[in-house]
Amino acid sequence: MKKRIFLLAALLILSFSPGDGFAQVRLTVNISPEQPTAFDDVVATFSGEMNAVSSWNNSFAIEGERIVCELRAVLSPLAVWLPFQFSHNFGRLEPGRYSLLANLYCAAPFVPEDFQFVRQAVVQFSVTPVSAVLSLAEGWNLVSSWVEPEDNDIPSLMSGLTDAGVLNIIKDYTGRFYCPRYEFNNIPGWSIGQGYFINVTRNAELEICGAAVEADTPIPLQSGWNMVAYYPEAEAEAPEAFRNIRDALRLAKDGAGHFYSPANNFNNIPSLHRGAGYQVNTAEEVVLIWGAE
């Protein structure tokens, strides 16, 4: 019996030619979606053909705008030519131009620790910024963004409005402001999670480009008044939107003066929506997560 097993193993070794098997291996890499934005999960799909694989051992690393994928396959001793395909989700990537390098190493079945370089595949793709367009009406507007700007410098962000001659002033929740007429600014930068008052001379639009923020990103609130951003794509009624801070919430207001008072069970704020900012008064420091329990 032992002799038969030995002869069978010897036959398998002889029937497997690493050189021939490695030479025929194919590797292709595709990115999905083909033109990802900063709001998309980037998924790489690795496919090709090789002798049947008995095991995979893969590693993935993101180094700035360079993605390195080390793929290791131990081939089967059986000369079975089969297609393979598997995917890896890199999640959301910062805007930029990326180069994905996939190195495939293979090992013969009886010496799995001896991996040899077999194939390399390179794919380049760009992750484009997400754009938030905020509609501004003549006069005062309380606005916010669900996109974190690439450049949060206030004069730079407001340059489109300033060049069009429509921006009077922008203020943050502490009263710091930027007034292009007097070339004065003491707002440190656009802070994601915050709301801003913007005064314009006529109807206009403000575009903010960058990376989208997850809808459930926490927003820390101080005791007293705050101005906050609304992140979710779906609109929500105030009682639902503020439910995770209901016990600490004294009052919530929109830019038009409509308000929600949990203590009085009163609300006349229209559905909360992206682009709008909201004033929130709390009895203590809390963390707001939109729509959470």
Token pair belonging to 241 = 């939107």
In angstroms, the CA 259 to CA 269 distance is: 5
pLDDT given for residue 112 in this prediction: 67
Number of neighbouring beta carbons within 10 Å of residue 79: 14
pLDDT given for residue 19 in this prediction: 52
Token pair belonging to 13 = 């070794």
pTM: 0.70
The pLDDT tens digits of the residues spanning 137-163 come to 999 999 999 999 989 999 999 999 999
Lowest mean pLDDT among 63-67, 110-114, 186-190: 110-114
Question: Does residue 1 carry a pLDDT above 60?
Answer: no
Q: Describe the strand order of the beta sheet including 147-149 as a list of residue ranges.
A: 130-136, 204-212, 147-149
Domain ranges of the chain: 2-127, 130-288
Question: Does residue 96 carry a pLDDT above 60?
Answer: yes
Phi–psi pair at 239, nearest 5 degrees: -60, -35
How far CA 141 is from CA of 73, 138, 286, in Å, comes to 59, 8, 26
